A and B are shown apart, each in its own frame.
Chain A
Amino acid sequence: MTLSETAAQEIRESTASTRRRHRRWPRANISTLGYALFLTINAVSLWGGVFPFYPYEFHTPQITFAFSLSQLLSFVGMFFLAAAGAFYRPSITRRSLVMCGALPIFFGSFCLVASLFIQPARMVFVILAGVLLGAGTAGFALIWQRYFSAVPVDTGTFSLLLGTACAPLIYFCMYLVPSAMTVYVVPLLLVPLCAVCAIEADRSVDFEQPAFQDDPRENPHVYRHFLSEYAGSAIAIGSLGFASGLVRAIPVVNPSFGDATNLASMLGMFLAAAIFLALWRHGTFTTSVVDTYLKLFPVTAICLLIFPFLEESALITLSGLIFMVFSFAYVVMVLQCAQISRDVGLNPMFVFGFFGGIVYLMQDLGFISGYGLLAVSQLEFVDYFSVALIGLFVVTMALFILRGPGAEKSANIREIEFLPLEETPRVDTAPALQIEDEKSEESASAQSEEAEGNADMQPAKAEEKPDEAAIELPTEPSAEPLVEHESDKRTTSVTAKDGGHLRDRLSKQCLVLQDEYRLTNRETEILEMLVRGNSYARIAEQLFISENTVRTHTRHLYAKLGVHKREEILDILEAPQQDRSSDEQASS
């Protein structure tokens, strides 16, 4: 570990130790209830989750398969439609779309009830119900994703996780409702309540953000870059979806598996939410869908490997485990999509539409493959061997795509970030900058010089617009290079991409500010690039985001730092931390 890395760690630990004492969760709001209700509706509506509440004669393989397939296809179709709509008609994503989720679920549920009464047209009603329920649940998923991506990061992440953790409780309460009523409770009670929560939550969303206002066709490179960067991640989660789709086909021929997979699904989401909340409580951390996939891959692979060799009772548990893994990954995917939208400034419905479309398409393929194999084989013996083999092949191929030869680990993948929880009252921060002893200064300086090579030491000049006027940078010899040489095409980002590696004194100062002012990794990257004299256009180009997004991050940055122009950022950077703390205390 280099001295600079030690310094970075000390900064983090020092600041973290002072923060550990007075952490406070963000306030839960109505979106928590709404999201929990949505996940419950989802669990009861998707995959024939409502079937346990229907008479036994309803559970025929034909009905279950027709319902599940029509539902899944419309579910996937809705995701791709949303992605296309967000790209070609972004204005649609600024509208209140709650009814696009509520009405299809409402009418879909009644189509399912109608199929009980009108037996000659039962299959027509079942398919219609599947299509409507699939479209409705996907619609709600997209609406909630839009909300969580558009609100401040703390509020969004906390509400999402808390709602996810609460959903199993509401789901299990559904078992207390008399079965004759459950099919009515969902469309008449849960769906309107969820819609009301979504309408109320949407009122706090600022649709003037670049993610909603920007026309994607004006920044196609940003979207292209996103697609190329994240296709692997989506396929990775999709491979877990494929495995879950395979085991979801088993209840069609063997209904005893149905309840187990439903319960495991809710349990997986609960575990994911509980683990992330516990980790967040403990301190700040980052993760990503790729990390999660790499951790979950062995579990899924082992489950699939031993799948054909177990008794049916153990198979039910194993199926549950595979679905639990997917549910866990789904929660991470939702968080990842929100992070990408916020950091890159992409329309959240495009991001989630893309991820959800790929993941659920692969799940559909898994379901169809599984059903095909099981339906063909059930005359003689249930061919779990082929099911396991094809599942193992797909999850392994995803690993190959992510980590195989030729697969480059991208530095631009955004990690899901859990900022340190806010504190009240503000604690006295430890003198973290005291670590700026002579040795570390020299070491950082030397390392910086080595890294920068012939970096231009001159102040940056105004490049384009008046509001982007480059700051007057200190020219004294002790100052580190504040702007990169034009020929230096490396990114200026430090904290996010170098994993906390300190390149020079300025990087270190930015890192201190990040901890002190709860800046996100993206804001810290932009902070550093700004003080190095980069223009908005340059920053946008280097980070593959639009200039509007850079402006938005800068606005957030200024608000957090309490400054109005770049020069003031330099003042903050140069001021010893004790001074900043006392200034803030005095002003508060």
Chain B
Amino acid sequence: MSGIAFGLSQITLVFFTTLMPTGALAFTIAALYLMCAHLEDAEKTRLEKFLVLPIAIALVGLIASTSHLGKPSNSLFVLTGTGRSPLSNEVMASIIFMGLAWIRWLVAFGSKPRVGLKNTLTIAASIAAVAQIFFTSNAYAIPTISTWSLPYTQVNQVLEAIMGGALLAETTFCAAHTPIKRAFSGGLLGTSAAATVACIVFQTLQCIDFANASSTTADATLLEPFYASFIGLFAVLAIAALIVAFVPFFRKQPHRLASISIASALMLIGIFAMRFAFYCTYVNVGMW
């Protein structure tokens, strides 16, 4: 099977690794801000409702990832491998995060405030989100796949989550009309920009490192032009997203929802392209 064909066959996992960590991090940022910031009741209520945005993004990723399970009972069998299989750990962490975040969102609609429960769920979901990002990045450090078993694989996944997550959190705040401080908003955009720069650098290093990843039957250096072209596409999209996000920020425009939404979309498309390229570089140590 060629690299692109393999990438296409794993397209649902490309969706999963793009959307799930991004949504998880965005939820964590927004939910922790909601817990810690001093907001009016109406503002809190509105932001609580808009937490559904990162949850929905993550959920689409999770649902997409289940396409290869076959029948309902298989999904439970996957969970029985928790602890010994990185894939099962990833699925379990994703389900725990999703469950906690979903319940946290639903609790907001209750007739009673339940502040303690909300805070507990926020903290638990945030920890689960971090665990989800960790286990997802670890699931691809597979020794038998020489092009994936590189030191940059995990770092890149974490950086991609930060790039997209920070922008998506900013989008959530804008959609909910949450009054966030300019410094905090700038911090989110700055974090996304820093992660973008770092990710482009580490992706380039990963591409260079393919020279050391050849197997007995395959020359991984042949992947370099292909991967480099996707790094270029990724860089263009990510930088375009940052420009779209930063311009209204510097102009101090009060209503930035449209621009920040476009920025988030561009960033997610860029991450998706990079994740697709990553799956296309599948080189088993024994065979192409």
| A interface residues (Cβ-Cβ under 8 A, vs B) | 53-55, 96, 113, 116-117, 177-185, 188-189, 192, 196, 199-200
Contact = CB atoms under 8 A, between A and B. Distances in A.
Contact of A116 (B66, B72, B109, B111): B72
B73 interface: yes
Nearest to A179: B71
A180 B72 contact: yes
Chain B contact-residue range equals 10 to 19
Contacts of A180: 66-67, 69-72, 74-75
The main secondary structure of chain B at its interface with chain A is helix
Interface in B85-107: 102, 106
Given A178-B12, A181-B66, 11 more contacts: A55-B72, A113-B73, A117-B73, A177-B63, A178-B63, A178-B66, A178-B68, A180-B70, A192-B102, A196-B106, A200-B109
A192 B64 CA distance: 20
A184 to B, nearest CB: 7
Interface of B: 12, 59, 63-64, 66-76, 102, 106, 109, 111
The main secondary structure of chain A at its interface with chain B is helix
Given A177-B63, A189-B59, A192-B102, A183 B109 contact: no
Contact of B106 (A177, A182, A192): A192
A288 B102 CA distance: 42
Contact of B109 (A182, A189, A199): A199
22 contacts: A53-B72, A54-B72, A55-B71, A96-B111, A113-B72, A113-B73, A116-B73, A177-B63, A178-B63, A178-B66, A180-B67, A180-B69, A180-B72, A180-B74, A181-B63, A181-B66, A181-B69, A182-B72, A183-B72, A189-B102, A192-B102, A200-B109
A184 B72 contact: yes
Contacts of B63: 177-178, 181, 185
B188 to A, nearest CB: 28
Nearest to A181: B66
Contacts of A183: 72
B244 to A, nearest CB: 29
A121 to B, nearest CB: 15
Contact of B75 (A181, A189, A192, A200): A181
A54 B71 contact: yes
B41 to A, nearest CB: 15
A384 B141 CA distance: 61
B175 to A, nearest CB: 16
A189 B103 CA distance: 11
B57 to A, nearest CB: 14
A560 to B, nearest CB: 31
B71 A196 contact: no
Give the 8 A-B CB pairs with smallest separation, nearest first.
A180-B69, A178-B67, A181-B66, A178-B66, A183-B72, A55-B71, A196-B109, A116-B73
A181 to B, nearest CB: 4
Contacts of A96: 111
A282 to B, nearest CB: 35
A185 B59 CA distance: 10
B110 to A, nearest CB: 8
Contacts of A192: 102, 106
A200 B69 CA distance: 35
A189 B12 CA distance: 20
A110 to B, nearest CB: 11
A588 to B, nearest CB: 29
Contacts of B59: 189
A60 B67 CA distance: 25
A192 B52 CA distance: 13
B15 to A, nearest CB: 11
Looking at B59, B66, B74, B111, which has the most chain A CB atoms within 10 Å of its CB?
A: B66
A341 to B, nearest CB: 25
B43 to A, nearest CB: 18
A178 B109 contact: no
Contacts of A189: 59, 102
Contacts of A178: 12, 63-64, 66-69
A177 to B, nearest CB: 6
Nearest to B108: A196
A116 B74 CA distance: 11
Looking at A55, A181, A185, A199, which has the most chain B CB atoms within 10 Å of its CB?
A: A181
Contacts of B109: 196, 199-200
Nearest to B106: A192
Contacts of A199: 109
